[in-house]
Amino acid sequence: MSNALTMANLDDPYPAYAQRVAVAPFARDEELGMWVAASAAAVRAVLADERLQVRPMGEPIPAPLIGTPLGALFGRLARMNDGPRHRVLRGRLAEVLRWCDDDRLVHGATTRTDALLAAHPACDGTLLTRLATEVPAAAVAGLLGLEADPELAGDVGAVVRGFTANDARAIACGSAAAQRLDARVRSRWREENVVANVIGMFTQTYDATAGLIGASVAALANDAALRALVATDPASAQRVVREVARWDPPVQHTRRFVVRDIEIAGRALRAGETVLVLLAAANRDPSANPDPDRFDHARAEPVSFTFGTGEHACMGERLAVAIAATAMRRLLHAHAEPTAFPRPMAYRGAPNLRIPMFA
């Protein structure tokens, strides 16, 4: 039986999310041993409060990673730190992004997508899996002026898997990949924190953008009118992807850790407790988005929590949307016929991720 931690990979988790929004917008889940924020108001409050942080008290780096190259990388990531250090790291990353040309991002995504389309003429599961895993890495490399060779996506994936691993083999593989990425990035930057957070741009886009590409393909597969719109109106592609990100987000939930006693939604939380933040549920809260279960790319002033809010809002939102929109348009250009797009067979990913699998 699924619970709030595992429902992301259900065929349709959204009725269960809606039930939580209606009945338990912010409540203690004794089975999970944590608080669960489901409504838009509760999610907004949790993400905005500095007394709720991104790492557990006393564990800035996951215990299995301590003393490894992977742990050293993790400890420098802006998105995994709080307080003044976090703000300094985000500022340095913002500097990197300011000089980057988004046209390079689109060019990187287009080049890799077209190469995969040439190598895989059939619009099948193999093509879609490679698009989802390889295009984000190639696009970020293009943005940063780095080489996007075939090993890049594999190294990024190894680091991502290593971050959450408990076994020595996966951590060793992730550490070796982290060192290779470090050497690659140092061809352009030298400072440790900048190098780490440039690598973080690759890791942060890896699974999340794969899920966004997959969900965008699924949206096209299910709606002929949507395919026609994107095919004839290039400007609509990003609007469609943004609605996909709200309606069926690749990152379904995140966590926050209470570092000081606090009150949220009239409930007393104690230092050391955990809050599960259901981003996907808040996106479907009717108080935030009227008629929230309707997919509407032209929705007026949509509210989406998919990329977070507050201090830890994802700086790569525009990058992820641009990558997914580019891949979707190139795929549609190559496979315009309605029957070309397969439907998702299932969903995979870590418990908080929703990544469509195609036949």
> For 105, left (φ over 0), alpha (ψ -120 to 50), or beta?
alpha
pLDDT tens sequence across 148-174: 988 999 999 999 999 999 999 999 999
pLDDT for 174 equals: 98
Task: Pick out the chain residues at pLDDT < 70.
Answer: 1, 336, 338-339
Count of Cβ atoms closer than 10 Å to residue 110 Cβ: 18
Cα–Cα nearest to 132, from 116, 155, 151, 149: 116
pLDDT for 90 equals: 83
How far is 153 from 78, CA to CA, in rounded Å? Answer: 21
pLDDT for 338 equals: 58
pLDDT for 342 equals: 84
How far is 240 from 215, CA to CA, in rounded Å? Answer: 11
Provide the whole-model pTM. 0.95
pLDDT for 349 equals: 83
Cα–Cα nearest to 277, from 258, 290, 296: 258
pLDDT for 268 equals: 97
pLDDT for 89 equals: 81
pLDDT tens sequence across 87-132: 888 888 888 888 788 899 999 999 999 999 999 988 999 999 999 9
pLDDT for 231 equals: 86
How far is 285 from 109, CA to CA, in rounded Å? Answer: 33
**Can you list the domains of the chain with their CATH numbers?**
7-358 (1.10.630.10)
How far is 150 from 172, CA to CA, in rounded Å? Answer: 21
Count of Cβ atoms closer than 10 Å to residue 212 Cβ: 31
Chain-centroid distance, C-alpha 4: 18
pLDDT for 131 equals: 95
First to last CA, the chain: 26
